Amino acid sequence: MPTVTMNAATDPMIGRMIDQRYRVRSRIARGGMATVYLATDVRLERRVAIKIMHGHLADDVAFRNRFIQEARSAARLSHPSVVGVYDQGAEDDAAYIVMEYIPGITLRDLLQEHTALTSEQALDILRAVLGGLASAHRAGIVHRDLKPENVLLADDGRIKLGDFGLARAASANTATGAALLGTIAYLSPELVTRGVADTRSDIYAVGIMLYEMLTGEQPYKGDQPMQIAYQHANDTVPAPGLANPSVPRELDELVLWATARNPDDRPRDAKTMLDALAGVEGRIADPNSRTAVIRPLNTTSVLPRDDASGRNTTSARPPTPGRNDGSGRNDGPDRNGGPDRGDSDDTTVLGDRRSGVHPQPSGGRGAFSGSQAVGGGGAVAPGADRHGQRPTGPNGRRHSGQALSPAAERLADKSGRRRKRGWIALAIIVVLVLVAGGVAWYLGPGPGGNVRIPAVTGKSVSEARQLLEARGLHTDRATSSRHDADIDEGEVSATRPSATATVRKGTSVRLVVSSGPRLISLPAIVGQPLSTVTAALDDDFSLEKPSYRFDPDAAKDTVLAVEGVNEDGSGLDLTTVQTYPERQPIRLTVSLGAVPDVVGKTAADATTTLQGVGLTVSDQQTGKYSDDVPTGQVIATTIQDDPVVEGSQVVLTVSKGPAPISLPDVTGKTISQAASTLEALGLKVSYPDCTNILCSFYDWKSSLPVSGMDPGANATVHKGDTVTLSYKQ
């Protein structure tokens, strides 16, 4: 992890003490979501790397919660090939993660310096990456951002995988344009086309990195990110051996397997690919599996011969042109008629030295000196060779009669040699055919051949045993078990070695049987905020899209109910159980808060308010007279749906003002009677005071009749209106 020093004037974080514990020393790197600094843990007196989220992202509450939650997930990992997470927290609205500091370089730096790596170097790095990634996959964590920049090569030789968990949080603020080129180069086809990722998406990125390590370049190139993404979605990654012929065929197959366009054709997770890698390394390292040139059994050898002085010499000269005319006749002497001077390259047939019998040379006339010729003088008897032995005919049979003529002797020797060579050649061919056939049978259908372990996931134990034994493999009597959320209990979850691994026939394979999904304790859910419940359940269960409803008694975004599924598919109220199987679906019901109170608002304002929370307002309004609510304002709301959800229809009841009154005729009634009648209708009554002096001596209101009214009789009035009475004094 190279350190880039920055001064305090350039970066205000340098020199700052975070959480009264971490003193920032220098800046290491800056990304789209956070900046990484070298810091000192003053409490433990050690160097650490601290990743601080950018300030402009801190305002996004969902992003911040995701950042912290994913840091907790990464902290659960404990593996020698994973960068350790020590601490996390927030200060001044800036979230941070404290990680292990790895002094060294990244895989990207190594590739830029050396271009292509050797097969051994690539396998060393691949083994460490898959080891760390397998630990994450077992913990249910998908990296989602594998690339050479996240593979750290420490100065002491350790290989670490970093930036776990941040790829999922990156979905809240995805970069675009040229800045995304480094990441798009490793995106799987399903991420490009559907935006979904699982463990097999990480495997695709590992395959692309292996291709780049072996060839020094990425398989797809383009000036724009869209061009590279299109190739990932529509093309098949080529074998690295096409770009670098020195790449072993086994690594070509490993790259093609990991980068298959269909996720189902790739290794299921990093552990599966790591198991297969062990077999690949064994085949590459095993010299018996390499192509070799085998010396044939009938190789021509140079044999020693005795010269005239009795010394043992070796003739290594090639045959002399012209000494053999192709008819089997060996001239012996040179063209001038002189005898052979002992430098002939004729093939000599050796006899049994133990019995002292030496066959004669294969030459004809001129093969002996003049003292040994037929009819010549010398110490050797006629018809015997120079060793005192009778000459032999074809097939080594001795002639008991007189010696053959030189022409007959040459013909007999030539025929014998041809016959003998034919039988020897036939025997050698038969032996070679038998050996080659035996080797081919042993390494093919025989017990020494290789076979690929078939995929038996999801099958019963008996069916899996039959399939494996049909391939010439043995199955352990004992089986292992493990929790598996995708495979039914009692069915085969995996094999050891894993499926698609190539092994020798007769290899023992152990079946791993599913014990069903793991049961996990449920936290408090109902009455809790949605963000808290999501953070607690998202890693272990499959959260479906929540359903929302209005509730007058619960604040907005409060969980009202939680439901799972039974084995038969029926709904299960999770408030009635304490544990629930991992990765099973959970559906939350969340409060939208109370329906807004719009009574007293105008119809237009009420409509805007209700539509703002997702409700629809009926065009058919209800009008109602009201003495208390002014005309045009909402008196009440009516909703037929129960429960009330987004899209429910609201009917408004709007005030029409006070009810109209038809004014009765009160003329002829006394003033008191007329006033009582009108006031009972909610009207106000006025009349002039009596100015006659006689009015002071009696109750004139109860005696004087009404002679007129304003408004007049049968006029339309409303409560609160004033009616004026007149009378004669």
Q: Which residue reads 């152990």 in tokens?
A: 510
Residues near 729 by beta carbon (within 8 Å), at least 6 away in sequence:
690, 691, 692, 695, 704
Q: Which class for 184: exposed (0-12), middle (13-18), buried (19 or more C-beta within 10 A)?
A: buried
Distance between CA 349 and CA 36 in Å, rounded? 84
Residue 525 near residue 301, CB atoms below 8 Å: no
- Pairing label, strands 502-504, 450-452: antiparallel
Q: Closest by alpha carbon to 80, among 39, 28, 115, 132? A: 132
The helix (run of H) or strand (run of E) holding residue 709 is strand 706-710
Residue 506 near residue 447, CB atoms below 8 Å: yes
**DSSP strand E in 515-576: where?**
519-521, 542-543, 547-549, 559-565, 571-573
Residues annotated as catalytic are 145
Q: Which class for 232: exposed (0-12), middle (13-18), buried (19 or more C-beta within 10 A)?
A: buried
- Tell me the three-class secondary structure of 603-663, residue by residue: HHHHHHHHHHCCCEECCCCEEECCCCCCCCEEEEEEECCCCCCCCCEEEEEEECCCCEEEC
DSSP symbols for 152-214? EEETTS-EEE---SHHHHGGGS---GGGGHHHHTT--HHHHHT----HHHHHHHHHHHHHHHH
Report how many helices (DSSP H) and strands (DSSP E) the chain contains, helices first.
15, 33
Residues near 304 by beta carbon (within 8 Å), at least 6 away in sequence:
312, 313, 314
The helix (run of H) or strand (run of E) holding residue 65 is helix 61-75
Distance between CA 598 and CA 593 in Å, rounded? 15
Q: Which residue reads 């692309």 in tokens?
A: 208
Q: How far apart are the first and last CA of the chain?
A: 113
Q: Closest by alpha carbon to 580, among 522, 653, 495, 661? A: 522
330 DSSP 8-state letter: B
Residue 160 near residue 112, CB atoms below 8 Å: no
Q: Give the count of beta carbons closer than 10 Å to the beta carbon of residue 67.
A: 27
Residues in the chain: 729
Q: Which residue reads 């509730």 in tokens?
A: 551
Distance between CA 278 and CA 473 in Å, rounded? 19
Q: Distances from the Cα of 119 to the Cαs of 108, 155, 244, 285, 318, in angstroms?
A: 17, 21, 11, 11, 44
Distance between CA 524 and CA 533 in Å, rounded? 8
Q: Please write down the long-range contacts of 280-286, taking CB distance under 8 Å and 24 or more positions apart.
A: 280/123, 280/250, 280/251, 280/253, 280/254, 281/123, 281/127, 283/250, 283/502, 284/119, 284/123, 284/248, 284/250, 284/251
